[in-house]
Amino acid sequence: MPGLVILLVALLALSLVLLVSVRNRAVLLSEQNAANENEKKIVYDFLDRIGQNVTSGADVDQTIEMIVTFAQEATKADAAGLFIRDAAGVYRPRVIKGLFPPLHRSAAADKLLAKRKYIADKVMKETFMAGDGVLGVVAKTGQQLLIIDASTDERIPDVENTGVEINDLIITPLTVRGEITGVLAVVNKVGGERFNAADASIAAAIADQAAVTYDLVKLYKVKAEQQRLEQELALARAFQAILIPTQTPDLEKVAITGFYRSALEVGGDYFDYIPIDDTHLGIAVADVSGKGIPGALVMSMVRATLRAEARLSLSPKQVLQRVNDQTAQDTRDSVFITMTYGVLDTETGIFRFCRAGHEPILCCSKDLRSVKSYLPEGIALGIVAGETFGVTQEMEIDLAQEQSVVLYTDGVIEAVNGAGEEYGERRFHEALASHSEQEPRKIIDEVIHDIEKFTSGLPQHDDITLFIVSWKPAVQGNGIDQLVHAAAGRG
């Protein structure tokens, strides 16, 4: 009998432990969801402010001022600063907000620094190179730095005589096309709190969009004296190149091989690879209806929204639903975006996808020398919001069985010859099928050669995007990076 009582007590204790564990996990999930929603709202607010600022003709200094102010507000920092790299590789302060401490080792006995009115002048005169000091470390590595307790970190200089105490800080690189162009730093969270991972994530999201926006505004000013149409097309091409990845993911079991070439008259092709977790990769290909700067800005907004939503769900349909709702709310009635978005399981080869009014998804089989077309239901993004978009259909392809998935934009099939005839789906499918036994890189080369032969050298009037996602054996090398750079040089 006593043994039974002991057993019952032990079972009760175990049940309580399990109940507490479940409740704790539920609380953590709830907090994580709340943090994700908060970050999304902050990014949307930032894009809204920046969008209004850019379209109203703001200059570089106004844009930088807005970026730093927003970063300070969003992270609840006491001070914030933005340091931009010049042509010589020297990082110089452009905007400082609040009482920002000197972050370089300097003469601690400098009596001038004891007076706070001199601190701002001191900081605005400081410059650094990549690798120099705590700011230079981030500029060199490109890795964000979150320091929760600055008093124990030897990388933080002695600021005892400055009258400014450093408690904690976040330093985030600004990166465009794989190049670090600046460093954003926020210092000392207000209210006695300390920065955390959520603050670091917010700072990273702001820096990501700030880098692209700052680059866009610089490009706009550089071209300001040229004719309006020429200027807009050149800027849109450059901005579009910023948004498009120049390298494909290096995966063990899956190879992604692609081709992208921009047209002389800018279209709106966009594609992206979005790491979701260790075994899932988001893949998107899209076409924005607008041209020039307006189209590029819409593309930027869709990219930011897609990247934010893709990390919250493995369901392509849910992701596109949320992207559509945001797009329909923030764009004009005349603007729409066609897109295919899928989530690839890089371990199993399962590719789940949705089609928002975009071109069909094609599958190539080496053995059968055939092409299958998948055309799930779906409405283009930005046309309707809410439940109407729910007709979007989610489908699945097993790469291990189908071997290759082909994604493309309409520039492939709408290439025109001298007689005004389009290349068309039939010729495209025949070209794919006739070379399906070859490696994906060779298939793409043959298709592009066939298109060029068909058009007889006529100027390309629309962007061409074509890539193949294939199961083993992996393709040796991918040519998309050099092709993107080559295309950019054509402009």
pLDDT 10s digits, 43-86: 666 666 665 655 555 567 787 888 888 889 889 999 999 999 99
Residue type at 326?
Q
CA-nearest of 364, 217, 400 to 293 is 217
How many Å is the Cα radius of gyration of the chain?
26
Residue 444 to residue 454: CA distance in whole angstroms:
15
Cα dihedral 129, 132, 134, 138, rounded to 10, equals 50
- Give residue 142's region: left, alpha or beta (phi > 0; psi -120 to 50): left
Cβ atoms 18, 10 nearer than 8 A: no
Q: Kindly give, in sequence order, each residue whose CB lies less than 8 Å from that of residue 221, ignoring residues fewer than 6 positions away.
A: 59, 60
Residue type at 220?
Y
Q: What is the pLDDT of residue 206?
A: 85
Q: What is the pLDDT of residue 254?
A: 92
Q: Which residue among 185, 218, 251 closes a domain?
A: 218
Q: What is the CATH number of the domain that holds 268?
A: 3.60.40.10
pLDDT 10s digits, 77-121: 999 999 999 989 999 998 898 888 887 654 444 444 445 555 667
Residues 378 and 480 reside in one and the same domain: yes
Q: What is the pLDDT of residue 123?
A: 80
Residues 183 and 280 reside in one and the same domain: no
Q: What is the pLDDT of residue 469?
A: 93
Q: What is the pLDDT of residue 109?
A: 40
Residue 365 to residue 438: CA distance in whole angstroms:
10
pLDDT 10s digits, 8-36: 545 555 555 444 454 555 444 454 555 55
Q: How many residues does the chain have?
A: 491
Quote the distance between the C-alpha of residue 285 and its chain's center.
13
pLDDT-derived band of residue 290, with 50, 70 and 90 as boundaries? Answer: low
- The domain in which residue 146 lies consists of 39-218
206 lies in some domain: yes
Q: Kindly give, in sequence order, each residue whose CB lies less than 8 Å from that of residue 95, ignoring residues fewer than 6 positions away.
A: 61, 64, 65, 67, 68, 81, 82
pLDDT-derived band of residue 42, with 50, 70 and 90 as boundaries? Answer: low
Q: What is the mean pLDDT of residues 395-423?
A: 89
Structure token digits, residue 420? 């005004």
Bridge partner residues of 284 (DSSP): 272, 341
Residues 97 and 198 reside in one and the same domain: yes
Cβ atoms 233, 265 nearer than 8 A: yes
Residues 306 and 448 reside in one and the same domain: yes
Is the Cα torsion angle 217, 222, 223, 226 positive or negative in sign?
A: positive
Residues 106 and 245 reside in one and the same domain: no
Residue 434 to residue 432: CA distance in whole angstroms:
6
The neighbour count for residue 85, using CB atoms within 10 Å, is 19
235 lies in some domain: no
Residues 370 and 479 reside in one and the same domain: yes
Whether residue 488 is predicted with pLDDT greater than 60 in this model: the reply is no
Q: What is the pLDDT of residue 329?
A: 80
Flag whether the pTM goes above 0.75: no
pLDDT-derived band of residue 266, with 50, 70 and 90 as boundaries? Answer: low
pLDDT 10s digits, 336-361: 889 999 999 999 999 999 999 999 99
pLDDT-derived band of residue 390, with 50, 70 and 90 as boundaries? Answer: confident
196 lies in some domain: yes
226 lies in some domain: no
Q: What is the pLDDT of residue 482?
A: 40
Q: What is the CATH number of the domain that holds 111?
A: 3.30.450.40
Whether residue 439 is predicted with pLDDT greater than 60 in this model: the reply is yes
Residues 277 and 425 reside in one and the same domain: yes
228 lies in some domain: no
Specify burial of residue 342 (Cβ count, 10 A radius: 0-12, 13-18, 19+).
buried
Residues 88 and 120 reside in one and the same domain: yes
Residues 172 and 249 reside in one and the same domain: no
2 lies in some domain: no
Residue 315 to residue 352: CA distance in whole angstroms:
8
Specify burial of residue 446 (Cβ count, 10 A radius: 0-12, 13-18, 19+).
middle
pLDDT 10s digits, 222-264: 665 556 666 666 676 677 777 788 888 889 999 998 898 877 5
Q: How many domains does the chain have?
A: 2
Residues 136 and 259 reside in one and the same domain: no
Whether residue 364 is predicted with pLDDT greater than 90 in this model: the reply is no
155 lies in some domain: yes
Mean pLDDT for the chain?
A: 79
Q: What is the pLDDT of residue 27?
A: 43
Residues 139 and 277 reside in one and the same domain: no
Structure token digits, residue 310? 């893709």
341 lies in some domain: yes
pLDDT-derived band of residue 210, with 50, 70 and 90 as boundaries? Answer: confident
Highest-pLDDT range among 44-48, 198-202, 338-342, 383-387: 338-342
Residues 348 and 279 reside in one and the same domain: yes
Q: What is the pLDDT of residue 124?
A: 82
**3-class secondary structure for the chain?**
CHHHHHHHHHHHHHHHHHHHHHHHHHHHHHHHHHHHHHHHHHHHHHHHHHHHHHHCCCCHHHHHHHHHHHHHHHHCEEEEEEEEECCCCCEEEEEEECCCCCCCCCCCCCHHHHCHHHHHHHHHHCCECCCCHHHHHHHHHCCCEEECCHHHCCCCCCCHHHCCCCCCEEEEEEEECCEEEEEEEEEEEHHHCCCCHHHHHHHHHHHHHHHHHHHHHHHHHHCCCCCHHHHHHHHHHHHHHHHCCCCCCCCCCEEEEEEEECCCCCCCEEEEEEEEECCEEEEEEEEECCCHHHHHHHHHHHHHHHHHHHCCCCCHHHHHHHHHHHHHHHCCCCCCEEEEEEEEECCCCEEEEEEEECCCEEEEECCCCEEEEECCCCCCECCCCHHHHHHCCEEEEEHHHHCEEEEECCCCCCCECCCCCECHHHHHHHHHHHCCCCCHHHHHHHHHHHHHHHHCCCCCCCCEEEEEEEECCCCCCCCHHHHHHHHHHHC
